[in-house]
Amino acid sequence: MTKSDLSLERIAEMMDELAAYAGQTIVIKIGGNSIDEDPDFLPSMAEQVEFLQSRRIRLVLVHGGGPQIDRALTEAGIQSPKRADGRRPTTAAAMVVVEQVMHAISRAVANALEKRGCRVYTAASANRLFIDVKPFANVPDGLENLAGRPTQVDADDLRAELDRGNILVLHCLGRGPEQQVFNTNADDYAMAVAMALGARRLMLATNIKGVLDANKMLIERLSPTTARALIANGTISGGMIPKVESALCALEGGVDGIVIIDAHIKWSLLGEILTHKGFGTLLARE
Ligand code: ADP
Ligand code: MG
């Protein structure tokens, strides 16, 4: 017989892990980069999400759209620089493009799930916004800004859709102070939703192995103290900043485990949930 990594003990561990999630909520954030770079990503994600739902796990998918938005803005000749922390102030002109791109990505995510027979509730199709957003404070002078950070989440409305047996597909748009459509970073959005729903897990799936140290080596377990130090000294920069900051916030808010994982690794979503070793970077209390 050929040797395998499996043992009865290992299989029992996976089954216990899965059983412990029944009735609980997992929030998965999928990066715009992952969708953009890998045509196999959405079908593979859908296969894993369908499996989890069939085991009575409640699933919320949040997506961004960074590279798709960058491309569409360039084509439209609209400037929309990102801040040093990877978050994007959004002008009214850029917002028109952002909304179109977000709706298109939501449809692509929902289609991948529907192809597998999943029931999906999509905020974009329902034309609903589920969060309040507080505008960024320090934006350059004269820049009219329609972006900020999530404050309040309509958690009861999201729960009602999960209760109906739907998988939720949410873009990262919300309501500004005057009820205008406001943009947020999808990592920030996913964190706010995970906290409001009391999710057991927040998974931030991206296009890189996880958080890398100054020597570009994967950090498997990251404590809040080290995470803050790596942001302060610039080792963690750009789009990784909102992920790590969101993870820290969710940890403080009581979410059990936050992982930053490579969405391109086959079965990484399931593997992360079912095995103790996991993939990517786990943010955990010291
Ligand atoms: P997503 O679309 O998944 O949100 P982002 O481009 O916003 O992806 O953020 C992920 C990027 O952050 C990585 O591809 C990498 O270029 C950058 N990054 C900056 N610092 C680090 C770090 N220390 N470890 C890993 N990635 C980092
Ligand atoms: Mg990002």
Q: What is the pLDDT along the chain (286 residues), one digit of tens a residue?
A: 677 777 888 888 888 888 999 999 999 999 988 898 888 999 999 999 999 999 999 999 999 999 999 999 999 999 877 777 888 889 999 999 999 999 999 999 999 999 999 999 999 999 999 999 999 987 766 677 899 999 999 999 999 999 999 999 999 999 999 999 999 999 999 999 999 999 999 999 998 999 999 999 999 999 999 999 999 999 999 999 999 999 999 998 888 779 999 988 888 889 888 876 778 999 988 7
Angstrom distance (rounded) from CA 211 to CA 261: 9
Whole-number Cα distances in Å, 97 to 71, 94, 140, 181, 186: 10, 5, 21, 12, 16
Residues in the chain, total: 286
Instruction: Please tell me the distance between residue 131's alpha carbon and the centre of ligand 1 in angstroms.
Output: 25
DSSP 8-state secondary structure symbol assigned to residue 83? P
Instruction: Please tell me the distance between residue 209's alpha carbon and the centre of ligand 1 in angstroms.
Output: 10
Query: Relative to the CA of 235, which ligand 1 atom is closest?
Result: 23
Query: Relative to the CA of 209, which ligand 1 atom is closest?
Result: 25
Give the 3-state secondary structure of residue 87: coil
Query: Relative to the CA of 242, which ligand 1 atom is closest?
Result: 7
Query: Relative to the CA of 213, which ligand 1 atom is closest?
Result: 23
Whether ligand 1 lies within 6 angstroms of the CB of 280 is answered as no
The model's pTM is 0.94
Structure-token pair, residue 22: 């029944």
CB 149 within 8 A of CB 133: yes
Return the CA Rg of the chain.
Answer: 19
Angstrom distance (rounded) from CA 130 to CA 170: 9
Instruction: Please tell me the distance between residue 65's alpha carbon and the centre of ligand 2 in angstroms.
Output: 8
Q: Which residue from 74, 71, 29, 59 is spatially nearest to 192, judged by alpha carbons?
A: 29
Whether ligand 1 lies within 6 angstroms of the CB of 244 is answered as no
Beta strands (DSSP E) in the chain are 25-30, 58-63, 120-122, 131-135, 148-153, 167-171, 173-175, 181-183, 201-206, 221-222, 257-262, 281-283
Give the 3-state secondary structure of residue 251: helix
> Number of helices and strands (H, E) in the chain?
11, 12
Nearest ligand to residue 244 Cα: 1
- Indicate which residue's Cα is closest to atom 7 of ligand 1: 239
CB 96 within 8 A of CB 62: no
